[in-house]
Amino acid sequence: MNRVYLDYAATTPTHPDVVQAMLPFFGESFGNASSLYSYGREARAAITAARSSVARLIGADEDEIVFTGGGTEADNMALKGIAFAADGKYNHIITTSIEHHAVLGSCEFLENLGFHVTYLPVDKYGLVAPDDVRKAITDNTLVISVMHANNEVGTIQPIAEIGRIARDAGVYFHTDAVQTAGHVPIAVNDMGIDLLSVSAHKLYGPKGVGALFVRTGTRISPLIHGGAQERNRRAGTENLAGIVGFGTAAELARGTMTEEATVLGTLRDRLITGLLERIPEAQLNGHPTSRLPNNVNVSIDYVEGESMLLHLDMEGICASTGSACTSGSLEPSHVLLSMGLSHQLAHGSLRLSLGKWTTGEDVERVLETLQEIVSKLRAMSPLYKAPGRSAQ
Ligand SMILES: *Cc1c(COP(=O)(O)O)cnc(C)c1O
């Protein structure tokens, strides 16, 4: 049975060209980038090329890219790094209730150290109101952190507008762009961004490598101390092969992003329309138009997301409920609850995220399979009364 992978938001397969580009760095090109002989120089040159590819993807300068061990580390470095470098007066952070746990966890940690954090609400589509951001700013505000697009429901935030508000107020602006980098155009200068997190494995690169964009002039403390790597901003011998793979993935994404978004947007809309037509009492979660081109998130009333996942898995279809981090716990998604969904609808949510190798046939197969699964599960549910089925 052919598997259908619809969980690109959790991780993407590493592109074959990326794997090819990485291979020499596990073999003959093994040098340490800090060494002064030729092997070291080769490694250094490869890292420089990768840095410039990642910088180009988001419209930054090479010097503004710090390689990290992934998106989670980039988010931690942005928030804690800026907090640790601040003088005592600036002890207020503004973020949202729908951020990734990498941001929320860092904020909770800083709260324990005495920082104050404002968690802004979102509307029913998962949108943050720029006016709420403006009103939350005080004389003590240090940084605003609002994600570019949400990993669960795909809603894209008005980042440029929030960036302008931050700039006008003289407050730093961080955005978690892990879901958008390489998928949606980003220009850090036009968008007023000072700090931006990226992860390679969400754009067809390898796992365990990412980057934080740090605008020139932004004061930030390192989290990892030791050697002088990454211009004293992140110590430790560089993940050479990973960084090379990240650079290659960024370069590929820059070339294919626009066309891919068009193709995926069409498949996404076909999947959304099909689901809403074929499954009664299903609703789309997230914004109808300001939305990642590859994200579908629906709530299907009277069924459990986990049951749908298990049945889909038996049919060879990989999907997700809420996010990979929250599945496995019984708590429903903090994102869906923030958007005002009931616990029941939040528990009945399903995320289908599309990518480079998704086909129209995949979409058709999911539609047919899910329709059958939902009918079967609802037939067993004591709560569900099918249209026309009389109450007992
Ligand atoms: C995946 C993800 C992260 C974490 O990135 P890792 O590289 O897996 O640590 C952070 N933020 C968002 C929005 C994500 O989707």
* Domain edges within the chain: 4-10+257-379, 17-253
Distance from C-alpha of 380 to C-alpha of 392, rounded to nearest angstrom:
14
Longest dimension (CA), the chain: 82
Map residue 227 onto helix, strand or coil: coil
User: 151: Cβ below 6 Å to ligand 1?
Assistant: yes
Q: Exposure string (b/e) for 248-262, b if CB count within 10 Å is 16 or more?
A: bbbbbbbeebeebbe
Domains 4-10+257-379 and 17-253 agree in fold: no
Mean pLDDT of 365-391: 84
pLDDT tens by residue, 163-197: 999 999 999 999 999 999 999 999 999 999 999 99
CA distance 161 to 86: 25
Residue 100 beta carbon below 6 angstroms from any ligand 1 atom: yes
Q: Cβ(179) to ligand 1 under 6 A?
A: yes
Q: What is the pLDDT of residue 389?
A: 52
> What is this structure's pTM?
0.96
Cα Rg of the chain, angstroms = 22
Q: Is the CB of 53 under 6 A from ligand 1?
A: no
Tokens encoding 347:
């528990």
Ligand 1 geometric centre to CA of 123 (Å): 23
Ligand 1 centroid from CA 42, angstroms? 30
Catalytic residues: 325
Query: Which residue, by CA, sits nearest to atom 8 of ligand 1?
Result: 71
Please say if the pLDDT value at position 149 is more than 50: yes
The C-alpha torsion from 95 through 98 and 104 to 110, rounded to 10°, is: 20
Alpha helices in 99-227 (DSSP H): 101-112, 130-136, 159-169
- 173 forms bridges with which residues in the sheet? 144
Nearest ligand 1 atom to alpha carbon 149 = 13
CATH number for region 17-253: 3.40.640.10
- Please name the amino acid found at residue 147: M
pLDDT at 387: 61
- Residue 329, pLDDT score: 61
Which helix (H) or strand (E) segment holds residue 336: the answer is helix 334-338
Second-level CATH architecture of 4-10+257-379: Alpha-Beta Complex (3.90)
Look up residue 363 and give its two tokens: 């979409």
